[in-house]
Structures are given as structure tokens and as C-alpha cells.
Amino acid sequence: MAGPAVFTIPPHRGFADALAAGLIARTAAEPLGLARAIVILPSNRAALTVSEAFVRLAGDGLLLPRLVPIGGIEGEEGVAAAFDPADADPVPPAIDPLHRRMILARLICEGRAQAGDPVETGEALRLAADLARVIDQLAAEDVAPARLAEAVPAELSRHWERSLAVLRLILDRWPQELVAAGRLDPAERRNRLLRRTARAWRRVPPPGLVVAAGITATSPAIAELMGVIARLERGLVVLPGLDRAMREPEWAALGPDEAGRGIETHPQYALKLLIDRMSVARGEVRPWRHGGGGRAPAARSRAIGNALAPAAFTARWQVLKPADRRLTGVRAADFATPADEAQAIAIHLREAIEAPGRTAALVTPDRGLAARVSAHLRRWGIVADDTAGRPLAATPPGTLLLSLAEAAAEGFAPVATVALLKHPLVRAGAGRLDWLDGVRRLDRALRGPRPAPGLAGIAAHLDGGDEREAIVRRRAKPLWEEAAALLLPLETAFAGPEAPLPALLAAIREGAEALAGDAAWAAPAGRAAADLLAALEAAAPLGPGTIRIAAFPAILRQWLDEVAVRPPQGGHPRVAIRGLIEARLAQADVTVIGGLNEGVWPTAAAPDPWLAPALRSALGLPGMERRIGVQAHDLAGALGGGQVLVTRSRRDARAPTVASRFWLRMEAMTGGLTRAPRLARLAQAIDAPARFRPADRPAPRPPVEDRPDRIAVTRLDRLKADPFAFYASQMLRLSRWDAIDADPSAAWRGSAIHAVFEAWMREDDCRPDALAPRAEAMLAEAARHPVLRALWTPRLMEAIAWAGETVAAMRAEGRTPLVAEIDGATDIFGITLEGKVDRIDRLANGGLAIVDYKTGQPPAARAVAAGYAMQLGLLGLIAERGGFQGAEGTPERFEYWSLASAPRGGGLGHVSTPVGPRRGGEEIDPADFTTRAARILEAAVLDYLKGDKPFEAKLHPEHAPYDDYDQLMRLDEWYGRGAP
């Protein structure tokens, strides 16, 4: 065969199937010809894809060739072990990736400190991952680190100059670290192995067939080996999707030019650079003649090439023949949300496999979309084979490790602690139900503001509380005592602001063992977690000395995210979810290309914190936009499937989205892709009921004899404005729980202030100098809440000072506080009216003043005039009837003491009254206030407590601001929809 043996398989033919069929045909005359063949592929996942293609074509069976992933050379695996090397000089092993990152992180800390710009350990560990990629890119492109001093552009900014200075310090020391370890960088080792293989094969070619297939990497070492293979007597190079039909001006415009620049975003750029480095002209690349015509017509490949043409040549779309710009067999569907998109894709895949033997695949870089589609498919019992696997951080063992780290780093804050103790792997087995019962009791006991930090803080919280809370907390103590004993070593390791990384990793491992036992390390995900922790513990001593505790969970999540967990066997044999590498190699009868939004496909560029774009260009490294061209090439391969559906969502969880540049190109060239509206209708219909029957406004009517015969003064407003809420709270005995680790609510703040004023009156006889210390003691207990510390404390202390001064001034005028925070009751209208008064004062004339404390603004006068906010009047009614012991007399004044700012300016704290003269509106006579309150109470009692009037929901919503029972009454189903 004259010339290099370089072939290409166009997108409309399945690469893996065509390659396997061709190799079987080429070796058919030799019984063991295929078994002796070596097939070099880009990655392990590509090797698996090609292996499956051979299995599909095996018929009665065959011996597979040796499949060698070029990107995974470690130890004696990979290309180096594919032949008996002629030279026996051993190549040192590659440094372990985690060891390298730890050493680099240490060097970064030292280099930044030397440059006068210290960096935290957590940030250094993140920067080390980027630096490792830079080192590999320099090695892959044969760029010596010394060139960093020669290729610095004159216009480099000061920020990049500082970064480059640190980089030089690190790279000067890095070779010494490698020599001391007796290791090589992975990319450097691969270069040596590939070049040694190329030299050996030039001298003594392998006896069997040698094929390099599906490789698009452009590094000089790879290109050199592929050039050698292409010129072997029994060598073949098979490229994926090289566009032989592209016009020569377009091909030449791709570059690279003399300055090394080219159109890196074009899908053919990497292939052009690769064959240039192989010293192969495009005209020497021949079509692969084996494996059939593929699932799509040949015109599809031409249309794909036209759609992805360089921007300067897109004007040619106007003169293309219809067949050359028509994407026959490709349809499009856009959806309102990612949820709708995933639902529609799942339906489409399900429909596709209804036909016997038909295959279907989703191709997307969006892991969130892939997870949603996979979940939807499970509703029909279809487990899709996801070739990308799941990040270890998303598996139960990974979330357990993260929960341990987060709980310890947050000082065992309630949310993180309860989430850890509820984890599905914790106490998995026979005792799981009893353990969960205890955790639920702990969950209940930790509702409300956060306790003091640490295990001791939760223990102290469980020992406190008022009489009712103490019962709840006491029930949670047995579980907490058991859990705290298990968590104590973890707390010890995470004490202080910083700790050694090995100690933290060991504590996480031991904590997982203590809480979950063998379940933490079982199954593929558990084994992956165990392997990762073992590797991290081995590597950690090489890294920086200590790490900030607060940064540790984020670093651990990064490590966990980098590990993919794949099930030991595939799922449904005819449904697959593929990443972009598989997209260019394997095809299905029905292909869905999902997530075609900008920032998803192509993905957003990750910035390089070490090398400025101009410096990367000067060094000859791939630009940050090279990935766009690679992903465009992946898209071209996926578009070559039989029936193709491209999808996108018009918005994501945060904002409207922008269609991918690839989507817009296809739309522009074709004049509009054929739409698939039926899928959107199906996605909406699958979960829609046949008939909508929204709930009616609830209005329960319990028997009169079952209705309450007691009512609190604070409940009358609720009974009048939202009778259903009264029914739910007083008859069903339902109350809303606080959230765990809740910010101090208005009710909580009010209770705290009431307790301060009560103790001040009962124990200090309202001495002005004693009030502030009591408030400060309360705030010291609550100072761990940043909202209180930053906002409420200064405001409260000013208002407290006002209250002390005001009481002192009133005493000077003859007004004396009598009682505070006492319960009272009276029988009236056949029921018991009860309430707690904040304070009652004796006026100079012998009358009573009823005082109600408010941390916020008091009720509006118009609400009182409308018959609501009658709490003061009802308390006065109880006092008038002798219901408060030690406070007999006639109420004459009714006051709100508000700690908020006065309505017309001034400082914090003011007294207001709902009775007396008013500017506009109804005036309420103080002497008639209790009588007015009694009339309003009587009407409500006769209607609801002694009568059979239904407890209708949201009767007067303008006076029912609380939403405690909105979900119970299914408010959203009927409110505002003409409900009766």
C-alpha cells in the first residue's frame, strides 16, 4: 500500500461498529490474526465501547484484539507493555497523582510565602490541581519550563507577573522533588514510553496488525507514534470524522499559522494539527470501506460539516444545495425547564426501545440532566447504562464522609449533626429503626435557635428548657449520649481553627467506621471511598503541615467529585447514557443530544490561575477555547446517529438560558430544524390528572358539644379572622414546629424580653440600674447568633434603657408596678376566658394600667376599631372581674410598650394606646374598652363555641397574616380561584 495508511470514518457511520467490522474483515484470512492485533484507543471508556462493538459482531465467537488505552499508561500497562522492548532501560514509574498534588500544594504555600503573598492550605490544594494540569500540558507539548522566562509577553499584567514568579519558584524545585521520589510526571512518562515504542517499532515492527483508532489528541509524542504506525507494513490509523469534503480554503484557514494560531474552536482543528504533526496530508487520508453504510445517510455528514464551518465561510450557506444543508432525521425540541426536558427525553427513550432490538442513547455533558433522565426511566423499571458513572460525592459512602466533615467543621451545629445521624448508612441493619426513633426525638428537641457549639453545647441544651420543653429534651438524651460517645474522637481531631490533614482524614475514616461499620465500605462506592481515603492518608504527610478546619469539607468534596463510581455491570442492554467521548465512537438507532445550552455544551471555560492566555499562546500550549472545538467534534459524531433529537431548556434553576452556538448554527443553516412538539405535550401530560378537582375552602363543622369551652385572649383574633386556624390549633392541637437551627424568631425574641422584664420586676423591684445587666445576661446566652449580635443587641440595649427610665419616671408620678407575667381567668358567656398579662400597674388614683410588651410595632388603631387586636381589652376584662390575683381594681389605661422606634421619629422605645382620642377614625372611650371587648367576645363565642357555625378558612385574610396552617388548609388550591 503506497503512502501512509490513514483512514477516517465519517459521522454518519458508527465509528466503533465500522472499526470492528473492518478489522474482522481484514483479519478474516488469518485464524489468529485478530487476536494478535493491537488496537490503540484514546481511553479506557473508548476501549470498552470498541470491545462492545466486537461482541455485537462476534457471531459464533471470536478472540478479541489487544485493546490498549493510550491515555492510561501506568506501571507495565499501556503501550509500553504491548511489545518486548528492544532497549532494556527502565522508565521510572509515574508519581501518584495525589502525592504530586500534596507536594505541589506544599510548594505553593512555600512559594507564595516567599513572594510575600501567603495562601491558605485549602486554596493551595485547589491550586495544586490546576498546577498539575499545567505541568502535564507543558510536558505533553514538549515545552521546557525554562521557556517560561523567555516567552513572557511585554503586556503581561502585574497579577499575572506575580503568578508567574511563584510558578517559576515552584517549577525550579519540582524536578528535585521528582528525583528524590524516583518518579516522573505522568505526561513525561507517557512521552518516554510512546517515543520508545515508536523507536522500537521503526526497527522491529510487531508481527500482527497495529491500529491506532479514535485518537484526536495532538501532543507531539502521540502524533509521532501514530505517524510510525501509519507507515508500518501492517499498521493502520483510523481517525474519527475527518472532513474530507471541506473546501481547501476553509481547511487552510483552520491553521495553525506561522505564529502558531488557528481556529481552535473548529471541530476539525485538532485533527488537522494531528495529521500535520504526523506528516500526513489530508489528501492521503482515505475513507474506511468496511462496516456498512451506517444508520444515517451520507448527506448527513456533509450537512454537519457545513453547519460547523468556520465563521468566515458561513455566507456559503445561502448557495448550498438543499441536500447539503438539510439535516434529515434530526429533530429539535426546546422545553420550559430542565425538568420538562428530562421528562421528555425519558419518554422518547422509552418509546424508542418499544421496537424489538432497537437501541437508544442520551448524549450530554450535563450530569444533572443525565441524573434526572435516569431517575425518570426507573419509573418504568429501566436502568440506563451511564458510562460516566456517578461522582463518589453523590453516593451514600461519599455523602457520609462529607456529612462527618461538615458536622465536625461546624462544631456539630444541629442541622449538620441531625443530617449525619439520619444518614442511610448510619446504624444500617437490625438496629436502624430504633436508632431513627431516637434521632427523630433529637430532631424535635433541637428545634429553635442554635445551642452552644460542640457536643457539650447540645448536651447542655438537652438539660435545659421550660417544663414542656424539658420533657421533649429528656426523651432525646439517651440517643444523644450514645451518639456523642461515637463522635467525641471526631470533635477532638477537629478542635481549634487548624489541624494536620492526616489527623483529619484519620478521624473521618474512624468516624465512618464507628457510625456505619462495614456498610461504609461495602459495594463499589464503598470500596472507592475506602481506596480514596487510604490514598489520601498515604499522600497527606507530603503536603502542607496543617489545614484550616473550615476549608476541609470543600476540599474533601473536590476529592470525592473527582472519583467516578460505575456499577459492576451495565443496565438495560438497549438504553445508554453516554458522555462526549463515547458520542464520537458509538451510535444508537435513536440518539438524544441533550442540554444544548451555552455553558453546558460547550461547557464554560475553566480559567487557568497560573498562565495568562497570552503566555499560553506564546508557549504554544492549547488555548482555553480548544475544548470548544473538541466538543464540537463530539457533537458532530453524535449527530451522525440514525434518528437524532436535539434538546434544550429555555431556563435553568437560576435564569433564562442562551441556546448553544451549535444549536444556533444548525437553526441558521437549515432555516429552522424540524420540531417535535409531541414530546412537550407528552411530558406535560404524563403526570397531569385526567380531571382537575381543586380542594374547596375548608369549613369544618364539629358538633357543638366537642367545641372548646376555653379561649385565650390571644386567640380571639384568630377565631374571628381565620376560624380554621383556630380549629386546627385548639381542637386538633396542631402547632408549627420551629426549624432546626432557626434564626431567633419574633416569638423567641418576645419570650426572651418578657422573661427579662418578669425577673426585673419580681426580683429587682424594677430598679433602673438592674434592668440592663439582666438584658446583657440574656444576650450573652444568645450571643452565638450573629443576627442578635450584629443587629438586635445595640437596638435592644437602647430600648431597655428607655424602659428603665420610663418606669422610674412613672414611679415618681405615683404609678407603681403590681404584678408581671401572671395567669388569670374568668368565666363569661359560658366559657372560660384566660390569659397572661405582661404587667399591671397601680395608678396614682387607684386604677389599673394594663401593659403589653411588644418587640415590634404595636397593632394599628384601625385593627382595634374593626374589632381585632382586642388582647388588651380582654386582659382588662379579666382584671375587671378579679381574675388576676393581687391586681384588683378597675382598668383605666391600656398601653403597648414597644421596643421599636417611635412612629414619628425619635429613639427606640415608646408607649402607645389603642383607646382615647384619634386623628380621624373611630374614637374608643377607655372606660368602654372592656365592654366593647366583651361584646366582640360574646359574638364570637355564640357563633363558634356555643353555636354550630363552621370554622371557615381565611374568613378575613387581611387580619390573618400567619401562615402556620396554610398547607393544612391547602390554601394554594382554592384561594383566589373563585372558591366559595
Strand-pairing partners, residue 712, are 834
First to last CA, the chain: 87
Which positions ≥6 away from 147 have C-beta within 8 Å? 619
- The model's pLDDT over 277-313, given as tens digits with 9 standing for 90+, comes to 999 999 999 999 877 667 788 888 999 999 999 999 9
pLDDT at 868 over 50: yes
Residue type, 408: A
Encode 646-655: b = buried (16+ Cβ within 10 Å), e = exposed: bbbbbebeee
The dihedral built from the CA positions of residue 74, 78, 82 and 85, taken in this order, carries a sign that is negative
pLDDT tens for 641-696 read 889 999 999 998 888 999 999 999 999 999 999 999 899 888 888 888 888 888 88
Tell me the average pLDDT of the chain.
Answer: 88
Residue 617: burial class (beta carbons within 10 Å; 0-12, 13-18, 19+): middle
Q: Please tell me which of 176-180, 383-387, 906-910 the model is most confident about, judged by mean pLDDT.
A: 176-180
User: What pLDDT is stored for residue 788 in this prediction?
Assistant: 63
Q: Is residue 124 scored above 80 in pLDDT? A: yes
Measure the CA angle with vertex 52, ends 46 and 55; round to 5°: 145
Q: Is the pLDDT of residue 84 over 60?
A: no
Is the four-CA dihedral 28, 34, 40, 41 of positive or negative sign?
A: positive
Instruction: Determine how β-strand 710-712 pairs with β-strand 831-842.
Output: parallel
User: Residues 670, 323: contact at Cβ < 8 Å?
Assistant: no
> 258 in helix, strand or coil?
coil
Q: pLDDT tens across 45-74, in order?
A: 888 889 988 988 887 788 899 999 987 444
d(CA 53, CA 292): 14
Q: What percent of the chain stands above pLDDT 70?
A: 94
Peptide bond between residue 256 and the one before it cis (omega within 30 degrees of 0): yes
Q: What local confidence, expressed as pLDDT, does residue 786 receive?
A: 63
Cell of 921: 377614625
What is the DSSP secondary-structure string of 499-544? Answer: EEHHHHHHHHHHHHHHHHGGGGG-HHHHHHHHHHHHHHHHHGGGS-
What is the reported pLDDT for 74?
41
Angle at CA of residue 140, ends 139 and 142, nearest 5°: 60
Average pLDDT over residues 364-384: 92
Rounded Cα distance, 579 and 389, in Å? 10
pLDDT exceeds cutoff 90 at 747: no
Predicted pLDDT at 745: 64
- pLDDT tens digits, 790-804: 666 777 777 778 888
Residue 920 pLDDT class (50, 70, 90 cuts): low
Per residue in 833-852, pLDDT (tens digit) is 999 998 899 999 999 999 98
Q: How far apart are CA 687 and CA 784, in angstroms?
A: 46
| Phi, psi values for residue 915, rounded to 5° | -120, 170
Distances (CA, A) of 540 to 14, 150, 667: 45, 35, 52
Distances (CA, A) of 16 to 50, 145, 466: 5, 39, 71
Per-residue pLDDT averaged across 781-792, rounded?
Answer: 62
Can you tell me the distance from the alpha carbon of 923 to that of 932, in angstroms, rounded to the nearest whole number? 12
pLDDT tier at 75 (50, 70, 90 boundaries)? very low
Q: What is the pTM of this model?
A: 0.86
Q: What amino acid occupies position 563? A: V
Q: What's the rounded Cα separation, in Å, for the pair 818 and 841?
A: 5
DSSP state of 737: P
Of residues 418 and 979, more confidence is placed in 418
Give the tens place of pLDDT for each residue, 203-228: 989 989 999 999 999 999 999 999 99
**209 phi, psi to nearest 5 deg:** -70, 135
What is the tens place of the pLDDT at every residue in 481-539? 999 999 999 999 999 899 999 999 999 999 999 999 999 999 999 999 999 999 999 99
Strand-pairing partners, residue 844, are none
**Residues of the chain with pLDDT > 90: what percent?**
54
CA atoms in the 13 A half-sphere facing the CB of 521: 14
Residue 271: closest CA among 303, 226, 236 = 226
pLDDT digits (tens, 9 = 90+) for 230-287: 999 999 999 999 999 999 999 999 988 776 778 999 999 999 999 999 999 999 999 9
916 phi and psi, to 5 degrees?
Answer: 100, -170
DSSP per residue over 786-846, as a string?
HHIIIIIHHHHHHHHHHHHHHHHHHHHTT-EEEEEEEEEEEEETTEEEEEEEEEEEE-TTS
Q: Is 853 helix (H, G, I), strand (E, B) or coil?
A: strand
Phi and psi torsions of 600, nearest 5°: -110, -50
Sign of torsion, CA 853 857 861 865? negative
Q: Answer yes or no: is pLDDT of 86 > 60.
A: no
Q: What are the tens digits of pLDDT across the range 9-28?
A: 999 888 999 999 999 999 98
Residue entry with cell 437560576: 654
Nearest partner of 924 among 881, 866, 874, 880, judged by Cα: 866
**pLDDT tens per residue across span 598-648:** 999 898 877 888 888 888 888 888 888 889 999 999 999 999 988 999 999
Cell, residue 530:
475506602
325-354, pLDDT tens digit by residue? 889 999 999 999 999 999 999 999 999 999
> 586 pLDDT band (50/70/90 cuts)?
confident
CB 174 within 8 A of CB 132: no
Q: Quick one: average pLDDT of 724-744?
A: 88
Average pLDDT over every residue of 817-826: 90
Mean pLDDT, rounded, for 934-940: 94
3-state secondary structure 694-728: CCCCCCCCCCHHHCCCEEECCCHHHHHHCHHHHHH
